[in-house]
Amino acid sequence: MFRRKFLATTLATAVALSLSSLYGSAYAAADATTVQSDENWARNSVIYQIYPRSFADGDGNGIGDMSGVISRLPYLDKLGVDALWLSPFYKSPQADAGYDVADYRVVDPMFGSTEEFERLLKEAHARGMKVIVDLVPNHTSDEHAWFQAALKSPPGSPERARYIFRDGRGENGELPPNNWPSVFGKAAWDRVPGEKQWYLHLFDSKQPDLNWDNPEVRAEFEKVLRFWLDRGVDGFRVDVAHGLIKEKGLADLPIEEGRENAGALVGPMWDQDGVHEIYRSWRKVLDQYPGKRIMVAEAWVTPRERLTHYIRPDEMQQAFNFDYLMTKWDAGAFKEVIDSSMALTATVGAPTTWVTSNHDTVRAPSRYGLKELGKHALPGNGIGPATAQPDEALGLRRARALAMLTLALPGSTYIYQGEELGLPEHTTMEGQYRQDPMFLRTKGEEVGRDGCRVPLPWKADAPSFGFGPGDKTWLPQPASYARYAVDRQEGAADSTLNLYRKILELRHDHKLGDGQLQWADAGKDVLAFDNGDLRVLINMGAQAAALPAGSQVLLSSEPLAAPDRLPANTAVWLKRT
Ligand code: NOJ
C-alpha cells in the first residue's frame, strides 16, 4: 500500500513539474525518483484484469462500460492491487467480445469515449494504479477499414497484401487453400463471395489474420502503440503473441491432426521464430517513453522453454504462466510447476507470473471443484448444463487456499475480476444465452467461455445484482451470485473479499513479490516454503496435517480448529520466529 501511495505522489509531482518552464531538468529529477519503483512494478505487481463488458455497467444497457469502471476505482484501490489490465474496449462489432477490432484508436461507444478512458487513466494513476491495455495484432475485425478496402480491391493488390488471401484449391477455387482449422471450430478460411480467393482467420470468420510480413502492417502497429503510450498507458497485454508469423508456404497440417489440432500449441501457424523481431522493435518504442512501460505476452506455447523467448531482455517484460493455471490439485504438481517456472524465467532474468483465472478459462473455484480437471483445464472448454458439475464448497475452499499460495510467490500475479469474491463459473448456462463464437461455430460441441464472463454481482438484493442500474445483463447471472455479491462480503470478516484484502496488504508489507522462495519439507500433500519473514503452508491433501508447534498464524484461508493442525484444502501464512 505504502509503495502505491509513494508512486502516486511522484506521479503527481512529475505532472506538476512537467508543466513548469523547467521541464527538462525537473522531469529528469522526477524520473529518477520513479525509476526504482518502476523497475519493481514490472517484476512484482498484482495486476487486476478488468473485462469491461462484465465489470460494471454505468448506463444500464446491460453491458459494462468505462463509467462503470471509473465508479469502482475506489473498490479496486481498497482491494490493494497495483495495476489494472483492461480487455479490449475499442470500436468493434463484438463478434469475439471486442477481440475483433474495427478501429484501434477509438473507444467503442458501447464502452464510452476516449475522454472517459483518459479520465479513467488519470484517476487510476492518481490512486497509484498503473493501467495496461489490450493489443490485438494477430487479426483485425472484418469491419476494419483495411479489410473492407481489401474486399473491394482485386487479388494481388496492396490492399489485399495486408491480410492473408490465397487462391482456393479445386478447379474453380472452391476448396480452401489448405486444411488448417480455426481455433473456434470449422475451417480457418472463408471464401470471398464470387471469387477464387479465400482469406485466413485462425479465429472467427470476422477476425481476418493480418500479414505481418508486410512492412505496412508493422508500421501501423507501431503507430497504434504510440497512440496509446502518448495517452499515458503503462503497457500492453499482447493478444495471441505466438500467432503473428506463419510458416512460409502455408503447408497443410498432417492429415490425421484435422480438427484435433485446432487448439494445438505447435504447428506452422504458432510460435514461429519470426515473431520475436516484432517484439524487439516494439520494445524499442516502449523504451522511448518515460517510466517503465511493459508488455505481457499471451502465448500458448510448448515446450515451456519456448515461453522464455518472449521475455528476453530486449522483448517483453512478462508472459502469462498458463502452465500454472492448468495445474491439477496436487502438491507435487504445484511444486514442479513453481520450480520450473522460476528456473526458466531466471534464465532470461525475467520475473515469473502467476495466473489462475482469466476470461478464456473456467474460473478456479469451479475448476478445482471438479472431480477430474480433464479438458476443463484448457482454454475454451467451459462447463455446461450437460457436464459433470463441480462441488461448489470444495472449489471455493481450494480457491481461497490457492490465492494464499499464489500471492505468496515471488513475481507478478494476475487477478481476474471476481476472483477476489471467490466467484464461480456459471456452469449451467443454457445454450440459448451463449455468445462465444467457439460455442456457436462448433454448434455447442465446445461449451466455450461465456461461463467465466458473466457480469459481476455488486449488490445481493438489487436487480442485476447491482451490475447496472437496471435489470439488464448481457449474459444471465446464476441465482447463486447473490451469495458472492460485494455488499454481502464487505461486512463479513471471513469473506473471500476480505481475505484477498488481507492477503494483498500482507503481501505488500512483507514484500513477497520481491522475495525469494525457500522450500521446507512438510510431507507429500503439503507445500511449505519461506519467503522473507513468512512461512507459507498449503495442504492439498484430504487429511489435516501438522503445523509447527508454537506457530504464529498471520492469516489462514479457513478457521483453524486446533493451533497445531492445518485442515485439508487450507493455507496459512506464519510469522517465522
Ligand atoms: C485470446 C483472447 O484472450 C481470447 O479471448 C480471444 O478470443 C483470442 N485471443 C482471439 O483474439
pLDDT digits (tens, 9 = 90+) for 394-407: 999 999 999 999 99
Determine whether the shortest distance from the Cβ of 360 to ligand 1 is under 6 A.
yes
Q: What is the mean pLDDT of residues 288-313?
A: 96
Quick one: pLDDT at residue 524? 94
Distance, CA 568 to ligand 1 centroid (Å)?
A: 36
The answer for residues whose C-beta is within 8 angstroms of residue 153's C-beta and 6 or more apart is: 159, 160
- The DSSP code for 76 is H
Please name the residue whose Cα sits nearest to atom 10 of ligand 1. 99
Determine whether the shortest distance from the Cβ of 180 to ligand 1 is under 6 A.
no
Determine whether the shortest distance from the Cβ of 203 to ligand 1 is under 6 A.
yes
Quick one: pLDDT at residue 549? 84
Determine whether the shortest distance from the Cβ of 65 to ligand 1 is under 6 A.
no
Please name the residue whose Cα sits nearest to atom 3 of ligand 1. 360
Quick one: pLDDT at residue 257? 56
- Are the C-beta atoms of 233 and 133 separated by less than 8 Å? yes
Choose, from 100, 142, 298, 450, the residue flagged as catalytic.
298
Question: Three-class SS of residue 342?
Answer: helix
Quick one: pLDDT at residue 38? 67
Among 326, 169, 180, smallest CA distance to 260 is for: 180
Distance, CA 380 to ligand 1 centroid (Å)?
A: 10
Q: Which three cell numbers stand for residue 398?
A: 481450494
Judge whether residue 381 has pLDDT over 60: yes
For residue 99, which atom of ligand 1 is closest to its CA? Answer: 11
- Residue 352 to residues 91, 341, 348, Cα–Cα distance (Å): 33, 6, 11
For residue 96, which atom of ligand 1 is closest to its CA? Answer: 7
* Range of lowest pLDDT (9-13, 246-250, 362-366): 9-13
Quick one: pLDDT at residue 37? 57
Q: What is the mean pLDDT of residues 434-443?
A: 97
Determine whether the shortest distance from the Cβ of 99 to ligand 1 is under 6 A.
yes
136, 360, 378, 416, best to mutate for ligand 1 pocket (most atoms within 8 Å of CB): 360
Quick one: pLDDT at residue 27? 29
Distance, CA 185 to ligand 1 centroid (Å)?
A: 14
Please name the residue whose Cα sits nearest to atom 4 of ligand 1. 360
The CA radius of gyration of the chain, in Å to the nearest whole number, is 24
For residue 203, which atom of ligand 1 is closest to its CA? Answer: 10
- The DSSP code for 238 is E
Bridge-based pairing state of the strands 46-50 and 83-86: parallel
Cα 217–chain centre separation:
25
pLDDT bracket for residue 33 (50, 70, 90): very low
Distance, CA 111 to ligand 1 centroid (Å)?
A: 19
Choose, from 100, 142, 239, 323, the residue flagged as catalytic.
239
Is residue 247 part of the annotated active site? The answer reads: no
567 vs 125: CA distance, rounded Å: 41
- Share above pLDDT 90 across residues of the chain, in percent, rounded to a whole number: 88
Q: What is the mean pLDDT of residues 374-403?
A: 95
pLDDT bracket for residue 530 (50, 70, 90): very high
What beta strand segments (E) does 268-380 contain? 294-297, 318-319, 353-355
Judge whether residue 34 has pLDDT over 50: no
Judge whether residue 15 has pLDDT over 70: no
Judge whether residue 32 has pLDDT over 60: no
What beta strand segments (E) does 92-171 contain? 103-107, 130-135, 165-167
Is residue 171 part of the annotated active site? The answer reads: no
The answer for residues whose C-beta is within 8 angstroms of residue 158's C-beta and 6 or more apart is: 216
Q: What is the mean pLDDT of residues 123-138?
A: 98
pLDDT bracket for residue 551 (50, 70, 90): confident
For residue 139, which atom of ligand 1 is closest to its CA? Answer: 11
For residue 358, which atom of ligand 1 is closest to its CA? Answer: 3
pLDDT bracket for residue 265 (50, 70, 90): confident
The answer for residues whose C-beta is within 8 angstroms of residue 115's C-beta and 6 or more apart is: none
Q: What is the mean pLDDT of residues 516-545?
A: 97
- Kindly report the pTM of this predicted structure: 0.93
Quick one: pLDDT at residue 40? 87
Determine whether the shortest distance from the Cβ of 240 to ligand 1 is under 6 A.
yes
Between 24 and 86, the more confident residue is 86
Quick one: pLDDT at residue 261? 53
Judge whether residue 16 has pLDDT over 90: no
Helices 496-509 + 392-406 axis angle, to 10: 10
Angle CA 204–210–211, to nearest 5? 140
Quick one: pLDDT at residue 525? 98
Instruction: Decide: residue 502, CB within 10 A, 0-12 exposed, 13-18 middle, 19+ buried.
Output: middle
For residue 87, which atom of ligand 1 is closest to its CA? Answer: 3
pLDDT bracket for residue 262 (50, 70, 90): low
Judge whether residue 24 has pLDDT over 70: no
Please name the residue whose Cα sits nearest to atom 11 of ligand 1. 99
Quick one: pLDDT at residue 550? 85
- Residue 185 to residues 262, 276, 441, Cα–Cα distance (Å): 7, 28, 5
Distance, CA 240 to ligand 1 centroid (Å)?
A: 7
Computed over every residue of the chain, the mean pLDDT equals 92
pLDDT bracket for residue 334 (50, 70, 90): very high
Judge whether residue 29 has pLDDT over 80: no
Q: What is the mean pLDDT of residues 45-63?
A: 98
Judge whether residue 83 has pLDDT over 50: yes
Q: What is the mean pLDDT of residues 436-459?
A: 97
Judge whether residue 3 has pLDDT over 80: no
The Cβ-side half-sphere exposure at 80, using a 13 Å CA radius, reads 19
Determine whether the shortest distance from the Cβ of 38 to ligand 1 is under 6 A.
no
Distance, CA 298 to ligand 1 centroid (Å)?
A: 9
Distance, CA 33 to ligand 1 centroid (Å)?
A: 37
- Are the C-beta atoms of 81 and 48 separated by less than 8 Å? yes
Give me the residues paired with residue 209 across strands. Answer: 139
Query: pLDDT tens digits, residue range 185-222?
Result: 999 999 999 999 999 999 999 999 999 999 999 999 99
pLDDT bracket for residue 81 (50, 70, 90): very high
